[in-house]
Amino acid sequence: MKNKALLVAAALMALSSACKKQNNQENQLTDSKNKDCNCTIEQASPDSKAEIITFGKGSKQFKIEKKDGQYILGGDMVLNEQQVAFLKRKYDQTGTVTESTFVDEFKKRWPGGVVYYAIDPALPANKQAWVTGAISHWETNTKLTFVARTTQANYVYFTPGSGCSSSVGMTGKRQNITLGNCSLGSTIHEIGHAIGLLHEQSRADRDDYIIINTDNIEDGKEHNFQTYVERGLTGGETGALDFGSIMMYPSSAFSSNGKPTITKLDGTTFTAQRNGLSAGDLTGIKYLYPDSVFQAN
């Protein structure tokens, strides 16, 4: 794949960006007009003021945002209280996160590759169509199975709200995927977070492929461009950085002045792909969810 940092189960990384196209054509994954975009990326509560929360000190720091009572990583990944407490404990006491402790709160895959879900009846019909379309896309292209929740305690709940966001990995209880000003492609992206994928620009070797132009990043958003190593987290990577990953930020992500925050090494820019899972995404997902996961089901 091209790599995918995984804040959750072991392998991947990817990048993000939200293509607009809010009409019935959003349900057409093959719509050539929706293959790429250079628009605003997925964010939780984009219109809410963010408080920057810093754990640790000096060179051993981890930063996240707090918006509307939620802790946000990378713009659209919502951390639960256990994950935040885990980070606070490790950074405030030791200044680092080790592999043995990292397993506890972040490396949680869906057993057997089965993702239970429910849809909020208040979610508008067109957005419910995004959900069913995104689920169909995941099931068609991967071995993951999405099952309507009955009494399961751990499940994904697709619900309306501000922006686009998701919890990271399986949390063990209800976890929301919030769909506001999103798209079908953004819904596929957010499901990626729920199964354990991070953003592609956060991979450890990203400097071999891209340049982060810090002078162009919005004040207070710089932490969204940290690698998982800089965050003190473990992860995994497969292949080269995937500019076509559905999890990849575009060059315009969090720009303060209209200039690119990310470019290729030669200085050229690129847009974000929100048409569907790339070949690289699929390779990484197979690494995260190998055949043994499904055989155990």
189: annotated binding-site residue? yes
Which one of the listed residues 190, 218, 230, 237 is annotated catalytic? 190
- pLDDT for res 297: 61
Is residue 30 packed enough to be buried (19+ CB in 10 Å), middle (13-18) or exposed (0-12)?
exposed
Check if 99 is active-site: no
Q: Provide the whole-model pTM.
A: 0.84
- pLDDT for res 265: 97
Placement of tokens 């990626």 in the chain: 192
- pLDDT for res 105: 53
User: Do the beta carbons of residue 251 and residue 269 sit within 8 Å?
Assistant: yes
- pLDDT for res 40: 63
Dist CA 91 CA 110 (whole Å): 27
> How many residues would you count in the chain?
297
Q: Which of 106, 78, 76 is nearest to 90 (CA)?
A: 106
Q: How many CB atoms lie within 10 A of CB 127?
A: 22
- pLDDT for res 2: 41
Task: Take residue 91 and report the two structure tokens written for it.
Answer: 């950074």
199: annotated binding-site residue? yes
Q: Going residue by residue through the chain (297 aa), what tens digit of pLDDT does each one get?
A: 444 434 333 333 332 333 333 333 333 333 323 333 334 689 999 999 999 988 877 767 778 999 999 999 999 999 988 888 877 777 776 545 444 333 345 567 899 999 999 999 999 999 999 999 999 999 999 999 999 999 999 999 999 999 999 998 999 999 999 999 999 999 999 999 999 888 999 899 999 999 999 999 999 899 899 888 777 676 778 889 999 999 999 999 999 999 999 999 999 999 999 999 999 999 989 988 999 988 866
- pLDDT for res 30: 30
Dist CA 121 CA 40 (whole Å): 27
Dist CA 141 CA 58 (whole Å): 44
Placement of tokens 């929100």 in the chain: 274
Q: What Rg do the C-alpha atoms of the chain give, in angstroms?
A: 18
**How many alpha carbons fall within 13 Å on the CB side of residue 295?**
3
Q: Is 259 helix (H, G, I), strand (E, B) or coil?
A: coil
**How many alpha carbons fall within 13 Å on the CB side of residue 149?**
17
Opening angle at CA 123, ends 32 and 198, nearest 5:
60
